[in-house]
């Protein structure tokens, strides 16, 4: 097999060697992972130690869920394991003890060898289709890969799924064979049981970047141009409402997350999501809220609609909503816009035109009179052949007609040209620029000056490869506070 790439992943003091290879007998590359294996006799001792530790510590689900309690549980677990291991196998050297304890922790507090895959920042997806075939992974660089790990039986897949479910207070059973949940890392998990999935039990884990994307990352990857980024920065500064649309895995949530860094530090921001994906700079006035599924008795659910209604009582200046799905949620969202809140959200749609159609037709079915408060649609596109993501178009919504025959026209401002792999200015902004002039008193030359300044700052950060979320956020916030000082620094 030809080795395409090779690297090491560490988890709990256990190292795994990763090789991505081309196998002449396979149609796709192999994700070959090798880590320390344990002999049967040692395995029996470890199983006995694990049972003793679990019995003595008697920790509950909440301990593992709470980040502070979780680290304490891990420390207690390690301390107890060292003591019991030294009693059972007194002749082990320190390195072997570390490895055995790491494997114990992976299997008792984690998902066994899958923990290595969760630590691999190059992977986006981890997929178990059944115990009859290897685990599949999706690499950012190589696409789908077949791993060298195969779980022993269907019960193991069920145990991993049940373990994830218990951590968020839900269960997967024959009566409820479908489960959506999330790991403490923020990764999203979906599980199904046989016979719903006819080949066997399945588990799909969608990984989210441990290091949040920033606007400079997007500029450096050519996902967005500095000109388009400066325009969106101006729109957010002057409280224009934006929906980020795109297909599955096109990067719309990541793009929304990137745009939130343009929010002024003087405003209170509330985010509402099913799974915690949005990450803002730590110094911003931000309150993240997440939904909660019902328990096995069907009680205790906290829906997105509940959170949206409650959020309006929390005096937000800006609201970020994970995804528009249903009519009631959309109505509350657009009511929030009409009562003076700036709102940012995502929607599954491939173009601006498709986004508009989805919003005004069932099941979302927003009245056009409410939709007029939406200013911009930003569409993300994923090129599967080249494995790249690009901002496809930035389009503004322009209402026309009277109350009885109100219409919405789409004005395309920026568009990506695939043949040149470049985002170009497609047309002139009418509505956004006119509203900025109306509410700020700025003239065309003032708006252009502001756009040029923002572009200078973005290019400066990109040249310095400044891609830490807090550093990028502080530069933008400092610009709001003292623009002359930041511009002087950039020009110098």
What is the rounded (10 degree) CA torsion for 420, 422, 428, 429?
A: 150
Indicate whether 214 pLDDT > 70.
yes
Predicted model pTM: 0.79
- Give residue 369's pLDDT: 85
User: Is residue 456 scored above 60 in pLDDT?
Assistant: yes
Average pLDDT over residues 56-65: 56
Report phi then psi at 315, rounded to 5: 50, 60
Contacts of 72 (CB under 8 A, 6+ apart): 63
Residue 371 neighbours by CB distance under 10 Å: 18
- What does the pLDDT read at residue 69? 52
How much is the average pLDDT of 447-468?
Answer: 96
Question: CA–CA separation, 463 vs 459, rounded Å?
Answer: 6
Q: What is the pLDDT of residue 57?
A: 65
In a 13 Å sphere around the CA of 178, the CA atoms on its Cβ side amount to 3
- Arithmetic mean of pLDDT over the chain: 88
3-state secondary structure of 130: coil
Considering the domain delimited by 215-491, tell me its CATH architecture: 3-Layer(aba) Sandwich (3.40)
Q: What is the pLDDT of residue 164?
A: 86
Q: Is residue 344 scored above 90 in pLDDT?
A: yes
Q: Which of 191, 137, 144, 140 is nearest to 164 (CA)?
A: 191
Question: So where are the chain's domains?
Answer: 215-491
The answer, yes or no, to whether residue 65 has pLDDT greater than 60, is no
d(CA 235, CA 351): 20
pLDDT at 66: 53
The pLDDT score that the predictor gives to residue 393 is 97
Residue 324 to residue 93: CA distance in whole angstroms: 56
- Averaged over 58-85, what is the pLDDT? 65
What contacts 298, CB < 8 A, 6 or more positions away?
A: none
73 or 191, greater pLDDT: 191
The pLDDT, as a whole number, for residue 208 is 77
Q: How far is CA 63 from CA 33, 51, 98, 163, 182, in A?
A: 31, 18, 23, 14, 16
| 485 token code pair | 């000082």
pLDDT at 60 over 60: no
- pLDDT over 90 percentage in the chain: 57
- The sign of the dihedral angle between the CA atoms of 182, 254, 380, 418 is negative
Q: How far is CA 286 from CA 216, 278, 413, 449, in A?
A: 22, 11, 31, 30
The answer, yes or no, to whether residue 61 has pLDDT greater than 60, is: no
pLDDT at residue 79 above 90?
A: no
User: Tens of pLDDT along 313-328?
Assistant: 999 999 999 888 888 8
| 101-120 pLDDT per residue, tens | 888 788 777 888 899 999 99
CB-based contact 291:268 (threshold 8 Å): no
Q: Is pLDDT at 341 greater than 90 in this prediction?
A: no
- From residue 44, give the alpha-carbon distance in Å to each of 38, 47, 228: 10, 5, 60
Highest averaged pLDDT of the listed ranges 130-139, 159-168, 209-218: 130-139
Q: Is the pLDDT of residue 68 over 60?
A: no
Backbone φ/ψ region at 135: left (φ over 0), alpha (ψ -120 to 50), beta: beta
Q: What pLDDT, on a 0 to 100 scale, did the predictor assign at position 361? A: 92
Give the residue, 243 or 76, on which the prediction is more confident: 243
Q: Write out pLDDT tens, residues 376-435.
A: 999 999 988 888 999 999 999 999 887 778 899 999 999 999 999 999 999 999 999 999
What is the arithmetic mean of pLDDT over 280-290?
92
pLDDT, residue 281, reads 92
Question: Which residue has better confidence, 56 or 124?
Answer: 124
Spatial separation of the C-alpha atoms in residues 244 and 347, rounded to whole Å: 6
DSSP 302: B
């Amino acid at each position: 097999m030809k080795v395409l790439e090779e690297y090491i992943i560490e988890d709990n003091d256990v190292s795994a060697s990763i090789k991505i290879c081309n196998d002449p007998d396979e149609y796709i590359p192999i994700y070959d992972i090798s880590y320390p294996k344990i002999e049967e006799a040692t395995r029996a001792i470890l199983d006995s130690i694990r049972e003793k530790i679990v019995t003595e510590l008697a920790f509950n689900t909440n301990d593992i869920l709470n980040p502070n309690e979780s680290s304490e549980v891990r420390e207690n677990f390690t301390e107890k394991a060292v003591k019991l291991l030294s009693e059972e196998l007194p002749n082990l050297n320190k390195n072997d003890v570390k490895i055995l304890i790491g494997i114990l922790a992976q299997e008792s507090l984690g998902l066994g060898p899958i923990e290595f895959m969760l630590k691999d920042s190059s992977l986006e997806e981890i997929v178990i289709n059944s115990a009859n075939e290897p685990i599949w992974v999706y690499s950012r660089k190589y696409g789908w890969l077949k791993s060298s790990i195969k779980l022993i039986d269907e019960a193991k897949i069920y145990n991993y799924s049940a373990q994830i479910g218990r951590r968020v207070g839900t269960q997967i059973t024959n009566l409820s064979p479908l489960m959506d949940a999330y790991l403490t890392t923020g990764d999203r998990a979906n599980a199904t049981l046989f016979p719903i999935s006819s080949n066997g039990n399945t588990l799909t884990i969608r990984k989210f970047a441990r290091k949040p994307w920033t606007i400079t990352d997007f500029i450096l990857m050519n996902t967005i141009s500095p000109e388009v980024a400066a325009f969106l920065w101006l729109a957010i500064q002057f409280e224009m409402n934006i929906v980020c649309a795109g297909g599955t895995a096109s990067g719309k949530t990541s793009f929304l997350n990137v745009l939130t860094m343009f929010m002024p530090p003087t405003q209170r921001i509330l985010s509402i999501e099913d799974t915690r994906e949005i990450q803002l700079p730590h110094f911003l006035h931000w309150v993240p809220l997440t939904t909660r599924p019902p328990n096995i008795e069907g009680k205790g659910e906290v829906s997105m609609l509940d959170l949206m209604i409650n959020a309006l009582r929390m005096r937000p200046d800006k609201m970020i909503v994970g995804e528009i799905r249903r009519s009631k949620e959309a109505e509350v969202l657009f009511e929030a816009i009409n009562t003076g809140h700036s709102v940012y959200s995502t929607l599954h749609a491939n173009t601006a035109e498709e986004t508009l159609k989805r919003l005004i037709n069932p099941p979302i079915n927003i009245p056009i009179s409410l939709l007029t408060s939406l200013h911009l649609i930003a569409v993300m596109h994923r090129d599967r052949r080249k494995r790249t993501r690009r901002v496809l178009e930035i389009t503004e919504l322009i209402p026309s007609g009277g109350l009885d025959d109100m219409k919405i026209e789409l004005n395309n401002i920026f568009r990506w040209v695939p043949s040149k792999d470049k985002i170009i200015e497609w047309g002139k902004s009418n509505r956004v620029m006119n509203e900025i002039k109306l509410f700020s008193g700025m003239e065309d030359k003032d708006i252009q000056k502001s756009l040029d300044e923002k572009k200078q700052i973005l290019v400066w950060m990109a040249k310095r490869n400044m891609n830490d979320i807090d550093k990028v956020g502080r530069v933008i916030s400092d610009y709001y506070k003292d623009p002359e000082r930041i511009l002087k620094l950039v020009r110098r």
